[in-house]
Amino acid sequence: MCACVAAIGAVGSADGARWTTAARNDALARAVVWQAPDVSPNAADLSRPPDKLPDDVTCTFKMTPLHGSVPKFTCALPSGELLRVKYAGPEPHGEVAASRLLLALGFGADHVGFVRRVRCHGCPWSPFATIAAVTLARAGGLYERVARSDRAVDFEWVSVERRFDGEKIETDTVEGWTFHEFARVRTASPTHADALRLIAVFLAHWDNKSENQRLICLSGPPGKDGRCAMPMAMLQDVGATFGPRKVNLAAWRSAAIWTDRARCEIGMPDLPHGGATFVPVRVSEAGRRFLAERLQALSGAQLASLFRGARFEPRYGAVSAWVTVFQARVAQIADGPPCPQ
């Protein structure tokens, strides 16, 4: 039995080739980044995702190429829904906490939470290494023919990810979006856009390459004019957070939010890769207050349930210490003079 930590995510089926570059750029320029959540932040249950799977999940291994360095694999439920499983390391813990926080505040995020066990039929003992070897050898078809579906491998205390509902907008060459692009477009709501930038800095979401942000169409496939009627921009793959080196209490405590508080300027110059695609920007007073009010609405008990549900303790420090640092970072946003207009 493998006592692993894994994240399971529904794999989207959208065909990116259906979107032209012009339609994709148009969608990013009009995208919303915030919607009023079903319940106000002070009433949100941060201990679990909205659609938590049972504590025991059974699925069948699928040989699909995967990117990145975090161990993961794809698995199919009996219903046919594809799941993506990540295992080992701190990333699943950060992803659980960050995604639940984003959803509670009204931003788009995938639904992520831990379950007690995933039983994967047909899984090799080392799925990610096997996928890498088979992909390198271009032997996926052969592997499917010789794989043993009668054997199962158990992964204990795994986290479950289900995709935020929406048709993925991407082209043959572009997946997701970058903060470089985001800085060049007129967003549907500048206040919400500033709040999204500020929550990204709050979380230390430095791993913000384009595939770690998603552009979706809430209204489904392209319309007759090839455009999306209701586009939305969101963060995804938010496991490299609460660090910056993925769930590190001391590092998160010292990670700066403001590069210049008097000017209300934010950036990530001291984070890995200089903050990657994040562009230094001045936050509006409306954006600062919008996020601050929602973060301040979260009680200490809610925050404790957030970190406890993400299984931060004991491996990554006491829940009480994480709550204290969280509230101190909120105060850095909420306190002080208004941002200059």
Token look-up 């570059």 returns: 21
CA 189 to chain centre: 21
Specify the pLDDT at position 13: 37
Specify the pLDDT at position 126: 85
Specify the pLDDT at position 12: 36
> Is-above-0.75 flag for pTM?
yes
Neighbouring-strand partners of residue 75: 61, 83
90 neighbors 2 (Cβ within 8 angstroms): no
Alpha helices in 149-299 (DSSP H): 179-182, 190-203, 249-254, 285-296
Question: In terms of Cα–Cα distance, which of 72, 89, 83, 209 is closest to 132?
Answer: 72
**CA torsion, points 247, 251, 253, 255, in degrees to nearest 10?**
-110
Specify the pLDDT at position 17: 52
| Token reading at 208 | 């913000």
Specify the pLDDT at position 62: 87
325 neighbors 300 (Cβ within 8 angstroms): no
> Residue 328, class by beta-carbon neighbours within 10 Å (0-12 exposed, 13-18 middle, 19+ buried)?
exposed
Question: In terms of Cα–Cα distance, which of 295, 238, 228, 285 is closest to 32?
Answer: 228
How far, in Å, CA of 265 to CA of 227, rounded? Answer: 34
Per-residue pLDDT of the chain (341 residues), as tens digits, is 454 444 443 333 344 458 999 999 999 999 999 999 999 999 999 998 877 778 899 999 988 877 777 888 888 899 988 888 888 889 999 999 999 999 999 999 998 888 899 999 998 888 888 888 877 777 767 777 667 677 899 999 988 788 898 999 999 899 999 999 999 888 889 999 999 999 999 999 999 999 999 999 999 899 889 999 999 999 999 999 999 989 999 999 999 999 999 999 999 999 999 999 999 999 999 999 999 999 999 999 999 999 999 999 999 999 999 999 999 999 999 999 999 98
